[in-house]
Amino acid sequence: MIARRHQVALALTALLAAAAACQNQARHESASPGRPAPPVVRDFTLVASGEVLPHGSVIERAGFDAGRTGYDFRPMLSGVEPVVRRADLALCHMDTVYGPDGAYTDFKAPPQLALGLTTTGYDGCSTASSHVLDDGAPGVRRTLDAMDRAGLQHAGTARTEAEARSVTMLQAGPARVAHLSYTYGTDGHPLPAGQPWAVNLIDADRMISDARAARMAGADVVVVSVRWGTEWQEAPDGLQVALAQRLTASTTKGRPDVDLILGTHAHVPQAYEKVNGTWVVYGLGDQIAGEIYNRKGVQDSRGNESTIGRFTFTAPAHPGDRWQVTKAEFLPQMYDLDAGRVLDLGRAIAGGAELEGVRDRIRDVVLSRGAAADGLVMAE
């Protein structure tokens, strides 16, 4: 018995010695002259898409794709999954709340939508929206609960005051990214009694204060999603321009407080613009929406057009300096009402001249405020 224990001890010692030798060899090789050191990750890519607005026809399509045994939103997003999944961080905008079991309407979506988004590769959604109080506080709670179950982060609405005061922080490669979200209003629905913190409303001072708090909480990059603008207007309105100027001009110790602004609400793609050195997307458009009618009551195909913004951030040379956007891109897309699918128009041009026309129209709007001169390009 003693001899066996001695043999086991010797064998264990030999194994430990061999492991240590391997570790020393690995360290030696990685540090040897002429042998490159392991690469250090110094950047990350963020993608952001527009409104998810599941009208009745969209919900019906998800039911059909699930074989009438529930709702499956994954097929309709499959066309953009490669773009979304390759990013280090992917953000969306949830325009509506989730409805109670079986009671799904134009503005109360099935909770399976959250799983469809995470399966596609999305990490989080802004939820401050004009429709967020369509079902009062229960709708907010139901929506955020479903997102939590699906593993989809959220910013802009809250179930408790403590949640409202917290910072939504996401990991993107080597960086910590804070996601903040605000809306111009709630379409006349009052804030829930005793819950003034349930929805973040646009207030420039508060937004700047929140951005600074996020930075103090450890955010390397601060992203602000804003529901703003005039519906069906491709040019940004006065509020958008003024608020973008105010937010991007705000600095702390010489470092901008906001690193990227993502806009929604207009239902049409709007321009990208670099303001005070910070990229602003005035309007991403509707990524998913059913038949949608403009202010004249006419069905408008622009309501099914949108872009994905893709921004590559690179770490600063000195700690505490700004993470810079070193590559800015946009990808035109369209929701095909007949097929019930989101089309990546950079990949779908084989569809012919009609799709080329949609792509070119989106491109012209996106570049209408001189973004090309600041390096924005349309991705293939």
**What tens digit of pLDDT does each residue of 120-178 get?**
999 999 999 999 999 999 999 999 999 999 999 999 999 999 999 999 999 999 999 99
The yes-or-no verdict on residue 351 having pLDDT over 90 is no
pLDDT exceeds 60 at position 23: no
- Quick check: 159 and 136 in contact, CB under 8 A? no
Q: What angle do CA 336, 150, 213 make, to 5 degrees?
A: 100
pLDDT value at residue 348: 56
For the segment 204-216, the average pLDDT, to the nearest whole number, is: 98
List the single range of 11-15, 56-60, 222-226 with lowest mean pLDDT: 11-15
Given this model, what pLDDT does residue 251 score? 98
* CATH T-level assignment (fold) for domain 43-378: Purple Acid Phosphatase; chain A, domain 2 (3.60.21)
Percent above pLDDT 70 for the chain: 88
pLDDT given at position 85: 97
Helix and strand element counts for the chain (H, E):
10, 19
pLDDT category of residue 106 using cuts at 50, 70 and 90: low
Q: How many CA atoms are closer than 13 Å to the CA of 255, on its beta-carbon side?
A: 19
pLDDT band at 41 (very low <50, low <70, confident <90, very high): confident
State the pLDDT confidence band at 38, using cuts at 50, 70 and 90. Answer: low
Cα 345 to Cα 336: distance, rounded to the nearest angstrom: 11
Helix (H) or strand (E) holding 43: strand 43-53
CA angle 275, 276, 279 (to 5 degrees): 45
Look at residue 97 and tell me whether its pLDDT is greater than 60. Answer: yes
Mean pLDDT of all residues in the chain?
A: 90
CA distance linking residue 283 with residue 266, whole number of Å: 6
C-alpha to C-alpha distances, 121 to 83, 150, 266, 366, nearest whole angstrom? 9, 12, 25, 25
pLDDT of residue 35: 58
pLDDT tops 60 at residue 265:
yes
Residues 268-287 have pLDDT tens digits of 999 999 999 999 999 999 99
Stretch among 38-47, 225-234, 256-265, 293-302 having the lowest mean pLDDT: 38-47
Return the pLDDT at 346.
Answer: 80
> In terms of pLDDT, which residue wins out, 370 or 348?
370
Q: Is the pTM of this model over 0.75?
A: yes
